[in-house]
Structure 1
Amino acid sequence: MSILSLTQKEFSRAAGARAVVWVDPACVHLHSGSKWPVFRKRMQRAGRVVPRALLDLARPALKAREPFFIPADLFQDGQPVAETPKYRKVADFIAHRDTPKDSLWYAQLTDELKATGVARHKAIEMRSEAEILGFLEEYVGGLMDSLREHGFSSDESSYESAALINRDGSLTKTGSGNHRFNMCHALGIAPFPLKIVGAHRDWFTAQDGADGATLETLLSRIQEVGAQHR
């Protein structure tokens, strides 16, 4: 089987911890949104002709087919990390660490609370301004203080933040783990782990082609990319 036919899931299973690169977050300048760009496009196309109920049933199978090597026409152009809403929210909170009520994050959560009766952060639900303040001071502020004092520890998180390799070999942030990544980026904390979950197809094929390339070849090139982002 050609290395170019690898799915994201097959690569992740075969690569294991070798898919993770430790980088300086400040060297990762772009964010490309979803780590399943091909899946998203397939869902959009199918949604035009397939009923929603059937599409939901097909979702796991379509996601499992996500290729590791992303075609040029489906690789999403990245947005500068510093311009993403989550980064701006984190950077603003850092600036208001001692006065969290003045932070953009507090304003957004209280607006959500007023509009819906509950403010949410992932599985955390806050039903009063006091709970919002406690979340910011203890959860967010505590995480920030820990990162400042100890740096990033993989023991603090049950997942790895994800990244894609762009056509030119640069990394672009994608998927989950954005708050920790953005906080380390804004605070200048390194190193930080990024799990490579995909790559621009041309990045790999342009380097001496792909004929005869193996998983070891790919993993070696991924680690080279990681070393360029430290």
Structure 2
Amino acid sequence: MRTPPLWLDIILTTKRRFQRAADGNHLLWITPACVERVCYRSQLFEIGRRDSRLHYRHKGFLVPGDWDLRARPISIDGDFPGSQKYAKLADLVRCADDFRQSLWYAEARQQLQDEGRFVYKSRHIMTDLDSLDRFFENYLVKLIVSLRTEGYLPESAQGEHCGVAIGRDGDLLLTERGRHRFFVAHLLGLQSILVEVRRAHSEWFRKVGAGFHGAGKQRLQQALQEVGDNHRA
């Protein structure tokens, strides 16, 4: 069978097609500290506005371009996408025994006083202190305590594991989905967490000789296993 050109694979490779070929190997147990950089969807999708031939790539799995080179380091004082949230979570981890002393709670309470409500992810809307306290105690602090005492429990993610992308050289980069869980696990220094590969650089796919049938499919599965092995301490 003739091998299709890489640009055609870029257009046609959906997440579902990739997962079928990966046969479960897209789910990786890794050490959070081994993922050092973050890249969000806004960076991944910029190429779609520059290359009309790849406009379907917005729903695809293989992503060309220099998005992985522009990924930023994860650190308390960094300027990566989500750095403010990471810093707030770091402070909340320190104040988990009394969340009302955290900077995030103080900010949320001030917003509640000024605007009459505090909104989180558009799904959680708090309009009084009681609802704000319940949100912190039953959602944010509960997540911290659970990860600290029990480690990462796959069933708690309800199928939405932390999302990662594979860069051109096989490095894992944090991307969309499950960022709170990943940040907390990263801050707590957990040894193991389950992540889902949601994107990969088309150059990595080419380098490892991956495909979706026969030997190419086997090479894809082996390459994914090696990526997981390389991100465990």
Q: Do Structure 1 and Structure 2 share a fold, with TM-score over 0.5? A: yes
Alignment of 1:120 onto 2:119? yes
Mapped partners of 2:42, 2:231: distance in 1: 20
* Contact persistence 1:7–1:65 (CA under 8 A): no
Structure 1 residue 209: Cα displacement: 8.5
Cα-to-partner distance string for 1:185-206 (whole Å, 9 max, x where unaligned): 1111131111111212222323
Instruction: Tell me the residue number matched to 1:51.
Output: none
Aligned partner (choices 60, 67, 72) of residue 65 of structure 2: 72
Structure 1 residues 16 and 209: CA distance shift in structure 2, 3 A = closer
Q: 1:218 aligned to 200, 217, 220, which one? A: 220
Q: Distance in 2 between matches of 1:134 and 1:208?
A: 50
Deviation at 1:20, TM superposition (A): 0.6
Change (3 A) 1:120 1:209: closer
Query: Does 1:160 pair with 2:161?
Result: yes
Could you say what the CA RMSD is over the residues aligned between the two structures, in angstroms? 2.9
Asked whether the equivalents of residues 35 and 175 of structure 1 are also in contact (C-alpha less than 8 Å), the reply is: no
Instruction: Give TM-score scaled by structure 2 length.
Output: 0.79
Candidates 24, 28, 34, aligned match of 1:27: 34
Q: Which has the higher contact order (CA 8 A, sep 6+)?
A: 1
> 2:200 maps to which residue?
199
Moved more, 71-80 or 169-178: 71-80
Distance 2:222 2:72 in 1: 27
Alignment of 1:63-142 (within 5 A): 66-75=59-68, 77-82=70-75, 83=78, 84-122=83-121, 123-142=123-142
CA contact (8 A) 1:15 1:219 kept: yes
Shift of 1:65: 5.3
Distance in 1 (alpha carbons) for counterparts of 2:195 and 2:138: 26
Percent of pairs identical after alignment? 31
Question: Is the 2:209–2:216 contact (alpha carbons within 8 Å) kept by the matching residues of 1?
Answer: no
- Kept in 1, the 8 Å contact 2:47–2:65? The answer is no
Structure 1 unaligned spans of 5+: 47-61
Matched, 1:144 2:144: yes
> C-alpha deviations, 1:60-100, integer Å up to 9, x for none?
xx667533221124546212222322221111101111231
Q: Would you identify which runs of 4 or more consecutive aligned residues in structure 1 move more than 6 Å?
A: none
CA distance in structure 1 between the aligned counterparts of 2:56 and 2:102, rounded to whole angstroms: 37
User: 1:30-89: per-residue Cα shift (whole Å, max 9, x none)?
Assistant: 110118823x543x569xxxxxxxxxxxxxxx6675332211245462122223222211
2:187 alignment partner in structure 1? 186
TM-score by length of 1: 0.79
**How many corresponding residue pairs?**
213
Aligned partners of 1:11 and 1:208: how far apart in 2? Answer: 14
CA drift at 1:207: 4.1
Q: Distance in 2 between matches of 1:92 and 1:101?
A: 11
What per-residue deviation string (whole Å, max 9, x for no partner) do you get for residues 105-145 of structure 1? Answer: 21332243244422123322211123222221232212211
Unaligned runs of 5+ in 2: none
